[in-house]
């Protein structure tokens, strides 16, 4: 039935409605519901009784409390209007053991449901990625109303014209393409070369696009078209990644593997011509590679996470070589006791494990880094070889109120290691020397070696989103004491003499790293320095379990957001980086004919780029 109003109320009604509309309009315009998510949960005891008055803290990815809630009479709590990110919750209550759960992924329009069971000894948190069975946030009165017939429901009787099947009330189906984001990068400068990871061309246009197909299939497509300023080498690469249901739980409901296929092609310079096999001097060699990668995560329990996968590479350079690179990492979250990680990798370092973080930005960065990572190809005795790194590591970290303490021990075996050189004899090209893929240097195969070491450090949280890390350790390095090479009767003897002068040694090292965001301007800045023996020919260990170790030498970098143009969707970002600015590790060797050959484990690098992100 329609409500009746007397005449004074009828006159005031339009004014009241108009005022409420004006007051609520700004709030509705600023509502972030479309771009935010929720975390909803219920706290119960071991016997299933709802716990009222439990304290629930919402933690960010660094385990810092950002919000706080108290459970109601049904033991329920809600954190809404959350931006896309990785969160955690910490629940505490008198006479119960506190419980913490991290790595709760929240995306736009996504709700996470938590079923928390408090106990005196072992408390647990279970994540549901859809409303759990039994609708635990629904009261018994609502259940009884929904079980009744349509004509007898008291709420629906007040709305006789209400049609539950009206087109405007139907939930829209998934669109063909949704949640699309992309980035385009134009970068120029010196190479980004790492002894254990590969190299990237110095001038290139890279792009990456990610989208969701029908709401359940996550697809990324990226490419890199590059041209080397130093040597005139064109290169191209493309990478496609597919994952089913990106927001599905990792291991709780079903496996969620990620598959990627990467193809690359690069034309090496004609400087190899006189030394090519089979008298093919008129044709420069072509390096082609195809990489197929598989990675998955399996949550074995509330505290144990297993990440595993493998990459199959096929490389064509003079000859064809095929090799498999498996990798895995297991993490045990001891909550207040800290986190222990054990990792293993063989072959190329796994980019998916090295680049940490969650969300669209981290996914795009993984795509670009995986595409730019060329295999490090060397030659020895006229045979094509691929550098492989086998790494076994155990790490420990614990978050405290003021920062994080970390430590790790590792053992590493490198085969067919490539070392950048300048000034080597041209007669070695094609036999024991290969032009670098992105500079005017060459790669010299120094053979195989093993090394082990440990490191320990501390990361201090500073005001204003700044962090300062220090680390100390002892690790294996390669060094050479020779400053001149004795006379030899052949290029092969010269190469063997260089290898014979390189030996392994254990050396101490220390590092410092500062990173943060400049207020007002939003500039992301970092600087680092790693001190060790200046004659070390290898950079230090690339860790799969810790993040506090700096890169070799003195390094700087920053990323500056730039306001977009009016009416243009997206934003611009300028970046620059400078690595090993003190030329640490440069070792000269005087050859028998009087020229000087330099061994460069980590060349000086200066790069800049402009990114358009939308």
From CA 236, how far away is CA 224, in angstroms rounded? Answer: 6
**DSSP letters for 115-183:** EEE--SS--EEEEESSPPTT-TTS-HHHHHHHHS-GGG-HHHHT-TT--TT-GGGSPPPPPSEEEEEEE
More confident residue, 163 or 221: 221
From CA 345, how far away is CA 308, in angstroms rounded? Answer: 10
Cβ contacts of residue 447 below 8 Å, gap of 6+?
380, 416, 417, 499, 502
Q: Provide the edge-to-edge strand list for the sheet that holds 85-92.
A: 65-70, 55-59, 85-92, 99-106
> Mean of the pLDDT values across residues 560-571?
74
pLDDT in tens, 317-365: 888 899 899 999 999 988 888 999 999 999 887 877 777 655 666 677 7
Q: Of all helices (H) and strands (E), which one includes residue 455?
A: strand 442-462
Pull the structure tokens for residue 68.
Answer: 């706080």
From CA 36, how far away is CA 149, in angstroms rounded? Answer: 36
**DSSP letters for 265-318:** EEEPPGGGGGG-GGG-TTS--EEEEEEEEEEEEEE-SSSEEEEEEEEEEEEEES
Reported as a pLDDT band with limits 50, 70 and 90, residue 369 is confident
Q: Which of 426, 392, 423 is nearest to 409 (CA)?
A: 392
Determine what percent of the chain falls in helix, strand and coil, rounding each to the nearest 5. 15, 50, 35
Place of tokens 């790693």: 530
Q: What is the pLDDT of residue 268?
A: 61
Cβ contacts of residue 291 below 8 Å, gap of 6+?
260, 261, 262, 263, 264, 311, 312, 313, 314
Q: What is the pLDDT of residue 174?
A: 61
- Would you call 207 exposed, middle or buried from its count of C-beta atoms within 10 A (0-12, 13-18, 19+)? buried
* Full set of structural domains in the chain with CATH: 7-14+34-158 (2.60.40.10), 177-613 (2.40.170)
Q: What is the pLDDT of residue 89?
A: 92
Reported as a pLDDT band with limits 50, 70 and 90, residue 125 is confident
Q: What is the pLDDT of residue 340?
A: 95
Q: What is the pLDDT of residue 35?
A: 63
pLDDT in tens, 375-429: 888 888 778 888 899 999 999 999 888 889 999 999 999 998 888 888 777 677 6
Cβ contacts of residue 45 below 8 Å, gap of 6+?
51, 96, 117, 118, 119
Q: What is the pLDDT of residue 196?
A: 39
Cβ contacts of residue 303 below 8 Å, gap of 6+?
332, 333, 334, 335
Using an 8 Å Cβ cutoff, are 137 and 112 in contact?
no
Q: What is the CA radius of gyration of the chain?
A: 30
How many angstroms separate the first and last alpha carbons of the chain?
Answer: 51
> Would the pTM of this model clear 0.75, i.e. be above it?
no
Place of tokens 């629940």: 91
pLDDT at residue 201 is higher than 80:
no
Pull the structure tokens for residue 364.
Answer: 């795009």
Q: Which long-range contacts (CB under 8 A, 24 or more apart) does 219-227 make?
A: 220/260, 220/363, 220/364, 220/367, 222/367, 222/368, 222/371, 223/371, 224/368, 224/371, 224/372, 226/200, 226/201, 226/202, 226/438, 227/201, 227/203
Place of tokens 């635990």: 136
Mean pLDDT, the chain, integer? 76
More confident residue, 237 or 199: 237
605-613/177-189 β-pairing: antiparallel
- A 10 A CB-CB count for 371 gives 25
From CA 80, how far away is CA 72, in angstroms rounded? Answer: 16
- 3-state SS, 573-588, equals EEEEEEECCCCCCCEE
pLDDT at residue 165 is higher than 50:
yes
Q: Which of 237, 493, 272, 529 is nearest to 381 (CA)?
A: 493
Tell me the range of 136-145, 311-320, 349-358, 546-555 where mean pLDDT is highest: 311-320
């Amino acid at each position: 039935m329609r409500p009746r109003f007397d005449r004074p109320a009828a006159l005031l009604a339009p004014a009241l409605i108009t005022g409420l509309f004006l007051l609520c309009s700004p709030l509705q315009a600023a509502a972030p519901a479309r771009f935010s998510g929720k975390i909803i949960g219920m706290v119960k005891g071991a016997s299933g009784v709802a716990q009222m008055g439990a304290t629930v803290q919402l933690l960010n990815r660094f385990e810092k409390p950002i919000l706080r809630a108290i459970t109601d009479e049904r033991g329920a709590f809600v954190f809404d209007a959350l931006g896309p990110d990785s969160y955690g919750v910490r629940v505490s209550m008198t006479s119960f053991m506190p419980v913490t759960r991290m790595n709760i992924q929240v995306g736009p329009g996504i709700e996470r449901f938590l079923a928390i069971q408090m106990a005196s000894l072992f408390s647990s948190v279970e994540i549901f990625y859809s409303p759990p069975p039994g609708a635990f946030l629904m009261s018994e009165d609502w259940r009884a109303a929904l079980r009744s017939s349509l004509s007898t429901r008291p709420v629906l009787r007040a709305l006789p014209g209400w049609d539950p099947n009206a087109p405007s009330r139907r939930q829209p189906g998934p669109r063909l393409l949704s949640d699309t984001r992309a980035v385009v990068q134009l970068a120029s400068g010196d190479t980004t070369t790492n002894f254990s990871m590969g190299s990237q061309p110095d001038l290139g246009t890279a792009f990456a696009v990610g989208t969701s197909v029908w709401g359940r299939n996550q697809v990324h497509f990226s490419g890199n078209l590059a041209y080397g300023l130093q040597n005139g080498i064109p290169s191209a690469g493309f990478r496609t990644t597919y994952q089913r249901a990106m927001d599905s739980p990792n291991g709780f409901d079903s496996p969620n593997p990620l598959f990627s296929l990467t193809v690359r092609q690069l034309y090496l310079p004609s400087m190899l011509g006189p030394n090519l096999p089979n008298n093919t001097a008129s044709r420069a060699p072509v390096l082609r590679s195809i990489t197929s990668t598989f990675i998955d995560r399996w949550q074995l329990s509330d505290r144990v996470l297993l990440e595993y996968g493998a990459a199959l590479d096929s490389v064509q350079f003079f000859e064809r070589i095929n090799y498999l690179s498996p990798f895995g990492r297991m993490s045990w979250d001891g909550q207040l006791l800290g986190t222990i990680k054990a990792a293993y990798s063989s072959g190329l370092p796994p980019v998916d494990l090295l680049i940490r973080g969650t969300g669209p930005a981290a996914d795009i960065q993984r795509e670009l880094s995986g595409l730019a990572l060329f295999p490090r190809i060397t030659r020895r005795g006229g045979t094509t070889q691929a550098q492989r790194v086998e790494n076994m590591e155990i790490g420990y970290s614990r978050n405290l109120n003021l920062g994080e303490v970390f430590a790790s021990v590792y053992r590493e075996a490198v085969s067919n290691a490539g070392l950048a050189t300048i000034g080597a004899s041209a007669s070695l090209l094609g036999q024991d020397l290969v032009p670098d893929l992105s500079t005017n240097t060459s790669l010299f195969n120094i053979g195989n070696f093993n090394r082990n070491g440990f490191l320990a450090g501390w990361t201090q949280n500073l005001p204003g989103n700044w962090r300062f890390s220090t680390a100390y350790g002892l690790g294996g390095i390669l060094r050479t004491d020779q400053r001149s090479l004795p006379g030899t009767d052949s290029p092969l003897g010269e190469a063997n003499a260089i290898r014979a002068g390189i030996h392994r040694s254990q050396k101490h090292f220390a590092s410092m790293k500062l990173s943060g965001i400049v207020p007002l301007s939003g500039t992301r800045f970092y600087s680092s320095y790693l001190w060790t023996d200046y004659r070390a020919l290898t950079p230090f260990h690339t860790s799969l379990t810790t993040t506090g170790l700096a890169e070799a030498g003195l390094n700087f970098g920053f990323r500056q957001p730039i306001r977009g143009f009016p009416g243009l969707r997206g934003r611009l970002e300028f970046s620059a980086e400078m690595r090993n600015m003190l030329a640490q590790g440069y070792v000269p060797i005087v050859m028998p004919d009087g020229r000087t050959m330099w061994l460069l484990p980590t060349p000086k690098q200066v790069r800049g780029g402009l990114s358009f992100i939308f």
